[in-house]
Structure 1
Amino acid sequence: MPPSLSHTRPRGLAIWLIVFGVIGWWAAYSLTMERFHLLADPDAIASCDFSPLVQCTRNLESWQGSVFGFPNPILGLAGWVAPVVVGFAILAGARFARWFWLLFAAGMTFAFAFVVWLISQSIFVLGTLCPWCMVTWSVTIPAFYAVVLHVLRAGILPVGTHVRTASDRLMSWVPLMAVVSYAIVAILAQWRLDVLGALF
């Protein structure tokens, strides 16, 4: 059964990709500027440093903050352009080939896995909650869910009808799935870092 028009031109997904992409890019830009500021003046205090728990500096200056040999936010500056471009292209009437969607989904899967790893490092190793990092987490998670579910529901991956139908139904549940994911992160942060105790 061929995918419906809403699946080949998913306008709702396009709008979300643009929103997620703009927010993610701004977070990456802000973190990049903070990193440049710290490089120029090692004694400076980042504007996103609010307390020993809520801060950017420890994350930016750690090896986890430059996994590939350059600051992680630079990945975001480059990577978040893709969802914005894809979203606007869909709204303009573009229909992408199967290989493109597979590459795009692979990129979002990498971003999601990287964010999950960064969350674990932030909570369990560095013991901090970086504000701009959390903004990045908050948009990467639902963007990943939405793209993967679209790839499944549209039959871009060779899955059965039941999987496609279930993925189509789950698409409307992406916001709730994201909220549940945020809650899991919050519970882990509270358990490990006693966030409420530090705030009050």
Structure 2
Amino acid sequence: MPETPAAKRPVALAIFLIVAGVVGWYAAFALTVEKFTTLTDPTEALGCDFSVLVQCRANLESWQGSLFGFPNPIIGLAAWIAPIVIGVALLSRASFARWFWVAFNLGVVGALAFVIWLINQSVFVLGTLCPWCMATWAATIPLFWTVTLYNLKEGNLPVPAGARRVADALYGWVPAITLASYLVVAVVAQLRLDVLGSL
């Protein structure tokens, strides 16, 4: 059976999935370690606590930090393995059925929804910016745009041809779209928390 030409393989997507997965997994791991610290010695300073505004403790010790009855980072430890595995599989010339891409995209949409909720809670309720949480946000946002636009342009998601063409055009602009998304979060945080004024 002939191999798929390298030009037709989504190499850039595969590499991005691996990188995003590693960043997200490491952030989840770091948060899990910090959570263990709060449980074993509540008085010990956390490595991610830099100020009243920039810290992890408030987030980890809040109910929002254990939304499903266990620490949120545990979700990340499990979930971030998926993009890593998929990325490695794509580099190995694996191909996936449409239902698989749809299921993966649904998971990514769920991850983005969860992150948006966490951003809202962190900025508007807890009044803090958790460094490792922000690393998770920073990995999830481009993951959503990349996977969704890829699936739209490739026809894995059932949309009209016109929508596929738009997605194809936007796919090359994922870095700019991601940057714009980051700026929205930064502006909201600045307006609510006056981050610059606290420096």
TM-score, L = length of structure 1:
0.95
Instruction: Give distance in 2, aligned partners of 1:158 and 1:195.
Output: 42
Q: Any stretches of 5+ residues in structure 1 without a counterpart?
A: none
Q: Partner residue of 1:190?
A: 190
Instruction: Give distance in 2, aligned partners of 1:8 and 1:73.
Output: 36
Instruction: Give distance in 1, aligned partners of 2:8 and 2:124.
Output: 41
- For the aligned residues, what is the CA RMSD? 1.5
Q: Partner residue of 1:130?
A: 130
Residue 165 of structure 1 deviates from its aligned partner by 1.1
The CA deviation string for residues 91-122 of structure 1, in whole angstroms up to 9 with x for no partner, is 10100011110110000000000000000000
- Kindly tell me: are residues 99 and 134 of structure 1, through their superposed partners in 2, closer, same or farther at Cα, counting changes over 3 Å? same
TM-score, L = length of structure 2:
0.95
Task: Detail structure 1 runs of 4+ shifted over 2 Å in the superposition.
Answer: 4-9
Instruction: Give distance in 2, aligned partners of 1:27 and 1:96.
Output: 28
Q: Any stretches of 5+ residues in structure 2 without a counterpart?
A: none
What one-letter code is carried by the residue in structure 1 that aligns with 2:89?
Answer: A
What one-letter code is carried by the residue in structure 2 that aligns with 1:133?
Answer: C
Matches within 5 A, 1:101-120: 101-120=101-120
Residue 44 of structure 1 deviates from its aligned partner by 1.4
Q: How many residues align?
A: 196
Q: Helix, strand or coil for the counterpart of 1:22?
A: helix
8 A Cα contact 1:149 1:168, kept in partner: yes
Quote the sequence identity (%): 59
Instruction: Give distance in 2, aligned partners of 1:31 and 1:175.
Output: 26
What one-letter code is carried by the residue in structure 2 that aligns with 1:137?
Answer: W
Instruction: Give distance in 1, aligned partners of 2:159 and 2:8.
Output: 16
Matches within 5 A, 1:47-196: 47-196=47-196
8 A Cα contact 1:7 1:154, kept in partner: no
